[in-house]
Structure 1
Amino acid sequence: MRVHIGCDHAGLELKSHLINRLTELGYEPVDHGPFVYDALDDYPVFCIRAAEGVARDRDKGLDSLGVVIGGSGNGEQMAANKVTGIRCALAWSEETAKLARDHNNAQVVAVGGRMHSLEDMTKFVEIFLAEPFSEDERHVRRINQLHAYDADGVRPPLPDSAKGLGPAEDQD
């Protein structure tokens, strides 16, 4: 499996470590940068490219996932999620890494290089990459609602149980 990786200066150490570890595990890491430390670099430059690499590969039918890394992982997640068709989840525990794939079929994971130890972040990434999507109908339905909203901007309809109950009601 190909793994596209992008980061900013705060994720540079983890990115280097991950490339070596993923190679040992039989993955094919693709490094989208940065390639040198620059405290003023901008995470969108590298994280968007990593997410685009995943999207391109998946459009070709290739098995591909991605990892984006920054200080908190928040901005990196936001950048990756700007790429059409990509769902990027922020992992801050082993469980959130697992659920990102199992329930949300995320194709990219974001981790915060200043939030956890190198060992913990490596474990989050390994769990994310190894976990399959459950294919459970409720998860497929929810992901399809996200795709539909991206395509046409129309919100999913409210369930009958929520109608007439206040702020959740559709307002035009």
Structure 2
Amino acid sequence: MRVHLGSDHAGLELKDHLTTWLVDHDHEVVDHGPFVYDAVDDYPVFCLRAGEGVAADRAEGLDSLGVVIGGSGNGEQMAANKVTGVRCALVWSEETAVLAREHNDANVVSVGGRMHSVEEMTRFVEVFLATPFSQDERHVRRIGQLTTYDETRELPPLPESALRGTVEGRPEQDGNA
């Protein structure tokens, strides 16, 4: 499988470690940087490119995933999620890595290089790469809603149960606002 990598200075050590680990486990690595330590680098520069690489590969029918890494992983996740077609999940445990794939069909994972040991983060990535999407109808439906919104910017319709207690689809005011 092709794996796109991007990080910032706080994730550089893990990215370099993962590059070797991925190659040793028969993955094709596309490293979008950074390539040298720069304490003031900007994570969007590298994480957007990793996301674009995953999205382009998937648009061509290729089976690729991505990993973005920073200090906390939060900003890197936000950057990757700006790329149309990317669903990036922040993971902090094996369970969140599994659920990101099984339930959300995440195609990019974000990890915090200052939050866990290199061994833990490597395991999160390993679990993420090995876990397939469940194809469960409810998860397919939910991802479809996200994809439609991404393409059209139209909100999905509210379910009938959410309309009870509303006035024209808006929550009723109790007068205490």
Counterpart in 2 of 1:154? 154
Counterpart in 1 of 2:129? 129
Deviates more, 1:66-75 or 1:54-63: 54-63
Moved >2 Å (runs of 4+): 164-167
1:145 corresponds to 2:141: no
Counterpart in 2 of 1:17? 17
Structure 2 gaps of 5+ residues are 172-177
Counterpart in 1 of 2:62? 62
Equivalent residue pairs, number:
170
After TM superposition, the structure 1 = structure 2 runs for residues 1-172 of structure 1, keeping only pairs within 5 Å, are: 1-165=1-165, 169-170=169-170
- For 2:37 and 2:166, the matched residues in 1 are separated by 51
Residue 164 of structure 1, CA deviation: 2.9
Structure 1 gaps of 5+ residues are none
Normalization by structure 1: what TM-score? 0.96
Question: Match of 1:83, as an amino acid?
Answer: V
Q: Secondary structure at the match of 2:68?
A: strand
Residue 151 of structure 1, CA deviation: 1.4
- For 2:69 and 2:37, the matched residues in 1 are separated by 14
Residue 161 of structure 1, CA deviation: 1.2
Q: Secondary structure at the match of 2:65?
A: strand
Cα deviation code 1:95-126 (max 9, x no counterpart):
00011010000100000000011111000000
Q: Give the fraction of aligned pairs with identical amino acids, expressed as a percent.
A: 72
Distance 1:66 1:114, change over 3 A: same
- For 1:40 and 1:166, the matched residues in 2 are separated by 49
- For 1:30 and 1:84, the matched residues in 2 are separated by 19
Cα deviation code 1:26-58 (max 9, x no counterpart):
111111000000000000000000010011111
- For 2:109 and 2:148, the matched residues in 1 are separated by 22
**In angstroms, what is the RMSD of aligned CA positions?**
1.3
Distance 1:109 1:164, change over 3 A: same
- For 1:146 and 1:170, the matched residues in 2 are separated by 21
